[in-house]
Structure 1
Amino acid sequence: MSDLTAYPVTRRWPAKDPSVIQLYSLPTPNGVKISIALEELGLPYEPHLVSFSTNDQKTPEFLSLNPNGKIPAILDPDGPAGKPLGLFESGAILLYLAEKTGKLLPSDAALRYEAIQWVFFQVGGIGPMLGQFGHFFKFAADKVANNSYAMERYRDEAKRLLGVLEQRLEGRDWLMGAEYTIADIANFPWVRAIEAAYGAGDVIGISDFPKVMKWVQRAEVRPASVKGLEIPETS
């Protein structure tokens, strides 16, 4: 049995089964990317809720795994060379899990990098822009009530990025065509959040992006998504 006691994070969130991947997360657009991927890959894992309401992400135990204090993070007892590996940043974790299993990435080298570029598109664009839009639209509306610049800036950039996805999805079911990959898993939870988390579909004009809407619908009804979107449980 794997020994994870050298990792302080396991003191706050003890592993019931230290032989499986330990997931430290919250069911946010960033967090569910990893639970969905783990479900798609069929990898055994143990989820641990990192509650923002109690500032779990700022505790020394969590910061020992992710000094940036953000979710998600994982601890894989069977990392490279069979040694435990702690890892943070959702894009890096998606790449690691795909390469660990040889799944959810094209086998062709050129197509593999094409898929990876769409993961980076999410990490550098879709996530930050939609996240900032959601913050000002839903959580900080009172702070910008007399100055709409911030919300308009992120709204317009979000719409531009959705246009990029709309164009990419022309004639494609998934971002890489017929193959569902980590590129889809990285992006669709954030686009889904426009309605599901922020209730801002009308403000964004999501109906102007029908291919994107159908892509999200295809992704969210996959069995792994249905389950992963609710992990970790919050109650």
Structure 2
Amino acid sequence: MNSLSTFPITRKWPAQHPERLQLYSLPTPNGVKVSIMLEELGLAYEPHKVSFETQDQLCAEFLSLNPNNKIPAIIDPDGPGGHPLALFESGAILIYLAEKSGQFLPQAPAARYETIQWLMFQMAGIGPMFGQVGFFNKFAGKAYEDKRPRDRYAAEARRLLGVLEKRLQGRGWIMGEEYTIADIATFPWVRNLIGFYESGELVGIADFPNVLRVLDGFVARPAVIRGLNIPA
């Protein structure tokens, strides 16, 4: 195992437990995907808060780990071949952790790729579109007199919820009875849309009972409860 000191990011966020996986994040919908996954797996890790208020994500140390200046990012000191591995992009991190642990990603090839398909559905659709709804409904966009941009993204968010609603009909989770990284990626965003973004009424969330049912089951999981608040 190589020393983490070779990574410039550790100069700003020193590792107190260099033998543990290092998580650089913030409790946003993308950030908590990885903290929830780590809590579900029970892996030893050390969280580091990347504060948007002080623009930590733009500092040279963080950019050395993720040139795209987004959270979350990780360094696994015990990566493939026993060498440290640095990764960014939450979906890539979820796949890596699932394969490393052998959990939350089916082993059968067809089910594995179907799970990744739904993970990509979240990454390409639910995340970006729900984020736009949040901007136009709660943040700077709410001051715009022209509500057409807000309504466009709200309509697309509603369409995506409809896809998810249909998928969850008669299913416990996105992949059926098996809880997977597709759920871990998706439901923090659904929770945020309704809660933090205050957009439940805007998108007509009551019209999606299966989504709400599975969301309730998701947020009741002990690992999810812990992961939603990491880093503190």
Distance 2:142 2:133 in 1: 14
Give every structure 1 segment of 4 or more consecutive aligned residues whose post-TM-superposition deviation is greater than 2 Å: none
Would the aligned equivalents of 2:130 and 2:153 in 1 still touch at CA under 8 Å?
Answer: yes
| Match status 1:183 vs 2:191 | no
- Show CA shifts across 1:198-220 (max 9, x none): 11111111010000001111011
Structure 1 residue ranges without an equivalent (≥5): none
Letter in 2 for 1:13: W
**Preserved CA contact (<8 Å) 1:21 1:77:** yes
Structure 1 residue 142, shift from structure 2 partner = 4.3
Q: Which secondary structure state, in structure 2, belongs to the residue aligned with residue 94 of structure 1?
A: helix
What pairs up with 1:155-166 in 2 under 5 angstroms?
155-166=154-165
Q: Distance in 1 between matches of 2:2 and 2:159?
A: 47
Contact 2:193 2:199 in 1 (8 A): yes
Summarize the alignment of residues 25-104 of structure 1 with structure 2, pairs less than 5 Å apart: 25-104=25-104
Counterpart in 2 of 1:170?
A: 169
What is the alpha-carbon distance in structure 2 between the residues aligned to residue 141 and residue 60 of structure 1? 30
Fraction of identical pairs, as percent: 62
2:75 counterpart SS class: strand
What is the match of residue 127 of structure 1? 127
**TM-score normalised over the length of structure 1:** 0.97
- Corresponding residue SS for 1:66: coil
Q: Secondary structure at the match of 2:78?
A: coil
RMSD: 0.9
Deviation at 1:196, TM superposition (A): 1.8
**May I ask how many residue pairs the two structures share in their alignment?**
232
What is aligned with 1:210?
209
SS at match of 2:6: coil
Change (3 A) 1:142 1:195: closer
Task: Give the corresponding residue for 2:4.
Answer: 4
The CA deviation at 1:227 is 0.1
1:2 deviates by 4.8
Q: Structure 2: which 5+ runs fail to align?
A: none
Contact preservation (8 Å) 1:2, 1:19 = no
